[in-house]
Amino acid sequence: MTVDEAIALWPELEKTGLRLGSPAAVKSTGDWMVEFMQKVKDKNLRVDFVTIHWYAPPNADSFIKKVTDTYNLFGKPIWITEFAVADWNSTDETPTKYTEQEVIDFMNNVIPRLEKLSFVERYAWKTRNTSDKYMKTSAIFEDSGDLTTVGKLYASFGKEETITSSPTLGSVQKTSDKSSDTYVQTNVNTGSDSIFNRNGTDSSNGKYYYLSAIVLIILVLLI
């Protein structure tokens, strides 16, 4: 989709009255996003936060720099829609070279830092199944549905809970108390999952992610 095509559709999203996130471009500070955000400004359109996704080697400093650079460029709150450790040079014969321990070390380094960044409103861990050649060591669920070691660590940053999600309607129902929460989103295209984490005591604090707005954006942009 071109920038002009996205800009032409944007007023339809504004009509929802929901907070709107930017398109999640491959490069959050790349030419496409820079042009999009400039045209948003020129046409007095509304983008409430900028979205980022990231799957790369377990370099915590590089990841935090990308998040910070994106914020410094656009001056908008950041939502990290998906992030995980991935090895895109993997093959069926030689799956990801990154070990589970490297993923654990990355997660232990990154999540506390994200929590300290006031401009990061939401973040989500990307998971695939344990046989995925690119991201198997980032998986947070075993094939049985039980949490992996990485999954248990991620859950330890918040309170694990039961939710029901509808990828078609973009709705989420949750069971929780007033402590921190963990949410699951099913990707409308691939069926893979992302786990959304919030640490805080109410909906105004921490990194909680409302799915309905993002799913709506995805559906409109795909039409």
- What is the distance between the alpha carbons of residues 221 and 59, in angstroms, rounded to a whole number? 31
Segment holding 188, helix H or strand E? none
Segment holding 220, helix H or strand E? helix 211-222
Q: Tell me which amino acid residue 75 is.
A: G
**Per-residue confidence in pLDDT tens, the chain, 223 aa:** 899 999 999 999 999 999 999 999 889 999 999 999 999 999 999 999 999 999 999 999 999 999 999 999 999 999 999 999 999 999 999 999 999 999 999 999 999 999 999 999 999 999 999 999 999 999 999 989 899 999 999 998 865 443 333 333 232 222 223 223 433 333 333 334 444 444 332 333 344 334 334 434 443 444 4
Spatial CA neighbour of 57 closest among 135, 163, 141: 135
Residue 70: partners with Cβ closer than 8 Å, 6 or more residues away: 28, 29, 50, 52, 78
* Alpha-carbon distances, residue 30 vs 3, 9, 27, 204 (angstroms): 12, 21, 5, 30
